[in-house]
Each structure stands twice: as C-alpha cells, then as structure tokens.
Amino acid sequence: MQKLRITAVNVCRFVLAATFIFSGYVKAIDPLGTLYKLKDYAAAMSLNGLLPDWMLVGVAIALGALEFALGVFMLFAVRRHVVSRITLAFMAAMTVLTLWIFVADPVKDCGCFGDALKLTNGETLLKNIVLAACAALVAWRPVDMARFISRSNQWIVRYYTVAYIVITSVYCLYTLPIFDFRPYHVGMNIKQGMEIPEGAEQPEFESTFLLRKNGETREFTLDNYPDSTWEYVDTRTVQTKKGYEPPIHDFALTSCDTGEDITEQVLTKKGYTFLLVSPRLAVADDSNFGDIDQIYEYAEENGADFYCVTASANDEIERWRDLTGAEYQFCNADETTLKTMIRSNPGLMLLKDGTIIDKWSHNALPQTDDLTAPLQQLTIGKAQNDSTTERLLIVLLTFFLPLSALTLADRLWAWSKWIRNKQSNNRIFNLFKTEKKMRKKIVAGNWKMNMNLQDGVALAKEINEALVADKPNCEVIICTPFIHLASVAGVLDSTVVGLGAENCADKAKGAYTGEVSAEMVKSTGAQYVILGHSERRQYYGETAEILKEKVDLALANGLKILFCCGETLEEREAEKQNEVVKAELEGSVFHLDAEAWKNIVIAYEPIWAIGTGKTATSDQAEEMLAYIRSTVAEKYGAEAAEETSILYGGSCKASNAPELFSKPNIDGGLIGGASLKCADFKGIIDAWKK
Ligand code: 13P
C-alpha cells in the first residue's frame, strides 16, 4: 500500500513536471504571445487597459518563468512542501478559470501551451482537472517525492532555473521566439498554407429566413420556404459544421495607395519580397528606422519588393512616414494576422517565391555589412534548413545537461560523504570503545502525566532510598510533572538522584495562563528539563522554533536539557530517519555555541518505539546514535561529540537495557513506563553494573 502510494505520488509529480516545463517554456519563449493572450482574458473580463503593456509583458515573463520553475523544481523535488503547495494553488486557480471559459466561452483557446498545442476549452478543463488531482496527491505527500539532489545543493537548481528561464524569455522578447509554432514560421509557403486540400471536409451552414405576412412574422428554412405572398424580413446563418481550416486562413493584403487586393501579386512574385510587419505603427518601436531604410534601399537596388504591412489607418502611416522618412509602399492587413506573423513591432520578414525564408526582430535586423551582394548570393537570401533539432539540442545542452551533471556530481559527493562518515564513525567507535567512560552514563525517568502528588513523592522517596543504599554507577535523573517538583526535590539526595521537569514555557514570564517558566522550574531545585519530546511536538504543536526558544530560556536559567529527537514509523519506512533527526537538532539546538552545548544531553526516541513495547533493536539504536554523534562531530568537532551523552528511549526495560547499554554509542536511557515502579527503574539502572 505504501509502495503504491509512493509510486502514485512520483508518477503524478513527473506528469506535473513535464506539463509545467513544457507550458512554462513555450510561454517564456514567446512573451508577446503570452501578452496577447493575457489581453484576450482581460478583454473577456472587461479589465482591458487596467495595466499598461510594459507591465503586462512583465506579467507574461513572470507567468512563463513561474510555470517552468515549478516544473523543474517538481522534477528535482526541490523545496517539496512549498513547491507542491504552490502548484496545487496554481492548478486550483487554473481549473476555476478554465471552468469559466468552458461554460461562458469568452476565449476560444486557453493559451495554456502558447501556440505549440491548441486545445478546445473542454479538453483544457479535463486536462486541468487531471492535473489538479495530481497536484493534490503530491501536496498531500510531498516527502514521497524522491530527491535527485541533496538539500544543501538545491539552491543551484533554484537559481540556475530562474536565471535561465528569465534570460531566455528576455532574449526572445528582444529578438524572436527561439521556436516558432505559428503557421508563419520560416520555411512556410504562405500560398500553400492557405490551400484547402481536395476532398477536405467543407464547413456547413444553415440559414433560416424571417418572413412576414398579414402582420405575422415566421421563421422558414430552405425546405419549407413559402410562396411570394410572404414578405422577406431577415436571414440568420449559423455554422453547423466546422470543416477543414487551412493553417493560414487570414492572409490578405490591400494596397494603401490604390485600395487593391495585392495578396496574389505578393505571394506569386518570383524573387524576393521584404515585409516590414507592424500591427500598429502608433506603438511600433522607431529606434531602428535607419536600419530599415537602408534595407529598403538595398531592396530597391537589388530588385526585391519592400512593403510595410500594417493594420494602422492613414494618419498613423503618415506619422510614421514623417518620423522615419519611409519611402516604401504601405499595405493593410488584419491586426491579429500581423501579430501572428511576427512577434516584434515592427518585425521584418523575407519571402522568396512566396515562402518565408527569414524573420528578424527590429532589434536584430540585418546590417549593411551583411548586405554586400545581391540576396541570392547571401546566406540570408537562401532558404534555410529546418534548425529545430539544432535548437532543441542547444536547450538540452544549456539547461538539462548542466543540471544532469550537477545531479551526478551531487550523488557522487553524497556517496563519498557517506563513505567518509562511515570511516570517521568507525574511528569514533574505536575511540569510544576504549574511552566510553569519559562520557556521563545516564538513566533518566520520564513520568509523563502519571502519579498524583502523594504517590509521586512516595515513589521518589523509594527510588532515593534504594539508590542511596545501593549506589548507582551512572547518573540517575527523575523527571516529574511540575506539581511534584518542589516536593520531590525535598526528598531526594541530589548527589545521588537528579531532578528534572518534563517541559517549560517558551516565554520568560508574564500573562501566559497555565504555563511554567524555566526560571520557576529552576527555583524548585530541579537541574534538568526534558525538551522536544515527540508527545509535545505531536499533541501540543511544539515546532522547532518554539523549542529553540525553550532551549535558550532553559539554558539561560541554568537548567541542563534532555533534548529528544526521533522519527515516525512512516519516516523510518521511507528511510528518512537520519534526515528527520538531523533536522530536529539543526532546528532547535545546533544554534548553540560550544560552551552552551556542554549542557545538552540528547535522547533519541523513535516515535514508533515509545510506549508500544516495540523496542528498536540494539543495532538499530546503535546505528542511529552513531549517526547522531557524527552529526554532533560535524557541528562541534569530534572532541565535543565524544563528550556528549546520547541516550536511547522507547520501550526500554530491565530485560533489554543490558544489551542496549553494551553498545559503544549508547550512553543510557530515557525511560517512560518502566520508570514508574522503583524495582523496574532500578533494574534498568543496574544494567550499567553488568
Ligand atoms: P516508554 O519507555 O514508555 O516507551 O517511553 C519512552 C519515553 O517516551 C521516554 O521519554
């Protein structure tokens, strides 16, 4: 069942990753296309003009970059919690949006995949429902996503991805989209693109006629059209079948000088034609008009035609002529067609025999140095080979290859670190095997919420007496509920039995009803406090940050700390115990300096072993404690690690204590249930004598 869940989460994660990388990339390489789509949506919501175009371009770049980055982060399982939640929120919002476009039909194409893949509104809705379900599953269990790169190196993926996609997007905005998915791509013969193949499905229309007679108006079809005594009023025609739509169906040029349709003339011209495309001259960038004029002169000299194609009216054309000294011919075409033809305003297109052989943004026009001979002799005048594969390769080499290399290096690094740790642990083991006595051996009882005051004091007395009579060869501590502390302190011989609380507040003092401060604990005579117990984390929501406050306050008040850490059964089954324990230490105690660290005792208590009767095997416990010690060594050095007492807790009894305590890294136990009876507790303490 668990395996199935993990597989499902990872399948969903890869589906989301692939979709987001694709949809983000195609948006990012075509920021103007995304901007046009955003404007379609804004118009449908009557929000047109809310933001200026330059801001919308920023939104378009950010949207593409966000989707792409979410996809890559999902793929590499970077920041799993945050990324999966943002993805879910994103998918939820998109599903609502597409439900709206499905029902109200305000835009024809959702624009999810730019021009690369067009879906109907129904298909989009279905796709988003599936993706939202995937996102929900991943957000439910983000830690099931297997990591390819260790956490410490993930920042490289994060920064590289964001920088890569933003730079790509800005580059494409400055020049032209790296991949052109529109029908007017290089290599397309416009005339052929407009042809309807023989036998293709024809669109079908149905007309109804409104006719009137004697004041009565009725609807008729061709089948029941009445006699001439009826007077015609109106015709309504609806398309009943879509039919075949050629890739180019909206290309028509009208000369601004003569008003003639020159489409055929341009498309059948033998030789070269430059089309300077500007959907709107009023907002066209005029900074490169010098280059444009020179290309026009070059065209004139070399027998090539040159037209400026625009949707602008005459006054705008005149303004442009005045501004740039343009002498070329102008013709009109549909604005949307022009926006589709080239993502630059203005942009330049070169046709040879009606086929598009090159396209340039106004920022990257051919320079006079490039135009030194007739076009047929220049590279730009030759039909280019399809370079899609080449460009795909560049993307793979510049993005995925470095990240794959990083993944490989990271895995090698993690593997070598593991080997080094193992070796250093072995060195530490050997050291501890001989010098274990250097560290304090401790048996601590945690009474939890048991014993009323009278019973508690009686038990403390009994333990005290037993240990005074038969001195332990380890340190013994009993940790009791707050209300026992002062009374129990009164009956203990503090040279034989130490006293601790089970908790303290994360605030120093003040209006915190029901809380007990570290200072109050200290004032009872207690020397210790347990912090970070899994029951407090689990039932009382104690987070790493809260525990950090408690740790600082306890130390500030002169208390020593028994700091607990440990993983759940699920985390162990997912082999995450090291990660979990390290994070708990890093989150709450590793901020301490070396001096303060001397007051910390660590208790490793696997949650699955607490109060369950299911003890970790002595080897499992030893392995974890050795790992914890190596983590302490990494942080505070081998000497400090050697002096840190690390206890095991979880169903520890007199029967299994000798075996556990015989392990080189186990310095004692934190005992729950078995500390509530003097004989049981003493049995564990005596394990140190065996
Ligand atoms: P048990 O010994 O009852 O399993 O409890 C362990 C514990 O939680 C000590 O803090």
Tokens of 660: 């556990």
* pLDDT of res. 437: 46
φ/ψ (deg, to 5) at 658: -60, -40
Flag whether 473 is marked binding: no
* pLDDT of res. 245: 84
Residue where one domain finishes, among candidates 141, 174, 207: 174
* Ligand 1: nearest atom to the Cα of 611: 4
Does residue 665 lie in a domain region? Answer: yes
Taking Cα atoms as reference points, which of 564, 547, 449, 535 lies closest to residue 505? 547
Residue 428 clears pLDDT 60, i.e. is over it: no
Burial bucket for residue 438 (CB in 10 Å: 0-12, 13-18, 19+): exposed
Residue 86 clears pLDDT 70, i.e. is over it: yes
Burial bucket for residue 470 (CB in 10 Å: 0-12, 13-18, 19+): exposed
Asked if residue 327 and residue 377 are part of one domain, the reply reads: yes
CA of 670 to the centre of ligand 1 (A): 7
Using CA atoms, how far apart are residues 309 and 448, in angstroms rounded to an integer? 83
- List alpha helices for 436-507, DSSP H: 453-469, 482-491
What pLDDT digit, counting tens, does each position of 587-613 carry? 999 999 999 999 999 999 999 999 887
Burial bucket for residue 595 (CB in 10 Å: 0-12, 13-18, 19+): exposed
Share the mean pLDDT of the chain.
92
The active-site residue out of 67, 533, 571, 584 is 533
Flag whether 404 is marked binding: no
Q: In terms of pLDDT, which residue wins out, 429 or 201?
A: 201
* Ligand 1: nearest atom to the Cα of 530: 10
What pLDDT digit, counting tens, does each position of 222-235 carry? 888 888 898 888 88
DSSP 136-175: HHHHHSGGGSPPSS-GGGHHHHHHHHHHHHHHHHHHHHHS
Using CA atoms, how far apart are residues 456 and 105, in angstroms rounded to an integer? 73
Residues 6+ apart with CB under 8 A from 464: 491, 492, 493, 496, 497
* pLDDT of res. 435: 46
* Ligand 1: nearest atom to the Cα of 448: 10
Does residue 436 lie in a domain region? Answer: no
Residue 167 clears pLDDT 90, i.e. is over it: yes
Does residue 38 lie in a domain region? Answer: yes
Nearest protein Cα to ligand 1, atom 7: 672
CATH number (domain holding residue 533): 3.20.20.70
Question: pLDDT-based confidence at 427, cuts 50/70/90?
Answer: low
Q: In terms of pLDDT, which residue wins out, 46 or 601?
A: 601
Q: In terms of pLDDT, which residue wins out, 688 or 245?
A: 688
Question: pLDDT-based confidence at 422, cuts 50/70/90?
Answer: low
Region for 525 from its dihedrals, namely left if φ exceeds 0, alpha if ψ lies in -120 to 50, beta otherwise: left
Does residue 34 lie in a domain region? Answer: yes
Flag whether 672 is marked binding: yes
Question: pLDDT-based confidence at 115, cuts 50/70/90?
Answer: confident
Average pLDDT over residues 490-505: 96
* pLDDT of res. 239: 75
* pLDDT of res. 683: 96
Does residue 375 lie in a domain region? Answer: yes
What pLDDT digit, counting tens, does each position of 553-585 carry? 999 999 999 999 999 999 998 889 999 999 999
Question: Is the peptide bond prior to 346 cis by the omega test (within 30 degrees of 0)?
Answer: yes
81 is catalytic: no
Nearest protein Cα to ligand 1, atom 5: 672
Nearest protein Cα to ligand 1, atom 9: 672
Asked if residue 371 and residue 265 are part of one domain, the reply reads: yes
**Number of compact structural domains in the chain:** 4
Would you say 515 and 507 are in contact if contact means Cβ atoms under 8 Å apart? Answer: yes
Q: Output 505-511 pairs: Cβ under 8 A, ≥24 positions apart.
A: 505/550, 505/553, 506/546, 506/547, 506/549, 506/550, 506/553, 507/549, 507/553, 508/553
Residue 434 clears pLDDT 50, i.e. is over it: no
Taking Cα atoms as reference points, which of 446, 507, 512, 532 lies closest to residue 481? 446
* Ligand 1: nearest atom to the Cα of 653: 2
Asked if residue 377 and residue 409 are part of one domain, the reply reads: no
CA of 672 to the centre of ligand 1 (A): 3
CA of 608 to the centre of ligand 1 (A): 10
Flag whether 100 is marked binding: no
Asked if residue 348 and residue 332 are part of one domain, the reply reads: yes
533 is catalytic: yes
Q: Which residues pair with 565 in a beta bridge?
A: 604
Residue where one domain finishes, among candidates 147, 174, 201: 174
Asked if residue 251 and residue 163 are part of one domain, the reply reads: no
What pLDDT digit, counting tens, does each position of 620-632 carry? 999 999 999 999 9
Asked if residue 395 and residue 270 are part of one domain, the reply reads: no
* pLDDT of res. 399: 94
Query: At 610, is the secondary structure helix, strand, or coil?
Result: coil
Does residue 647 lie in a domain region? Answer: yes
Query: Which of 447, 671, 680 most suits a substitution to test ligand 1, by most atoms within 8 Å of the C-beta?
Result: 671
Asked if residue 298 and residue 153 are part of one domain, the reply reads: no
Average pLDDT over residues 521-544: 97
Residue 690 clears pLDDT 90, i.e. is over it: no
* Ligand 1: nearest atom to the Cα of 603: 10
**What is the DSSP-derived secondary structure letter of residue 399?**
I
- Predicted TM-score (pTM) above 0.75: no
Query: Which of 530, 670, 681 most suits a substitution to test ligand 1, by most atoms within 8 Å of the C-beta?
Result: 670
Asked if residue 421 and residue 337 are part of one domain, the reply reads: no
When computed from its CA atoms, the radius of gyration of the chain, rounded to whole angstroms, is: 38
- The percent of residues in the chain predicted with pLDDT above 70, rounded, is 97
Asked if residue 75 and residue 41 are part of one domain, the reply reads: yes
Average pLDDT over residues 425-446: 67
Does residue 180 lie in a domain region? Answer: no
What pLDDT digit, counting tens, does each position of 360-389 carry? 999 999 998 888 899 989 888 888 777 889
CA of 580 to the centre of ligand 1 (A): 19
Does residue 546 lie in a domain region? Answer: yes
What pLDDT digit, counting tens, does each position of 301-355 carry? 999 999 999 999 999 999 999 999 999 999 999 999 999 999 999 999 999 999 9
Asked if residue 160 and residue 101 are part of one domain, the reply reads: yes
Residue where one domain finishes, among candidates 108, 141, 174: 174
Question: pLDDT-based confidence at 166, cuts 50/70/90?
Answer: very high
Asked if residue 236 and residue 285 are part of one domain, the reply reads: yes
CATH number (domain holding residue 236): 3.40.30.10
Flag whether 651 is marked binding: yes
Asked if residue 170 and residue 80 are part of one domain, the reply reads: yes
Residue-range definition of the domain harbouring residue 250: 190-385
Among the ranges given (263-272, 418-427, 460-469, 527-536), the one the predictor scored with the smallest mean pLDDT: 418-427
CA of 447 to the centre of ligand 1 (A): 9
Tokens of 198: 């023989």
CA of 449 to the centre of ligand 1 (A): 12
Query: At 49, is the secondary structure helix, strand, or coil?
Result: coil
- Ligand 1 neighbours (beta carbon < 6 A): 446, 533, 605, 610-611, 649-652, 670-674
Average pLDDT over residues 36-63: 90
Flag whether 446 is marked binding: yes
Question: pLDDT-based confidence at 201, cuts 50/70/90?
Answer: confident
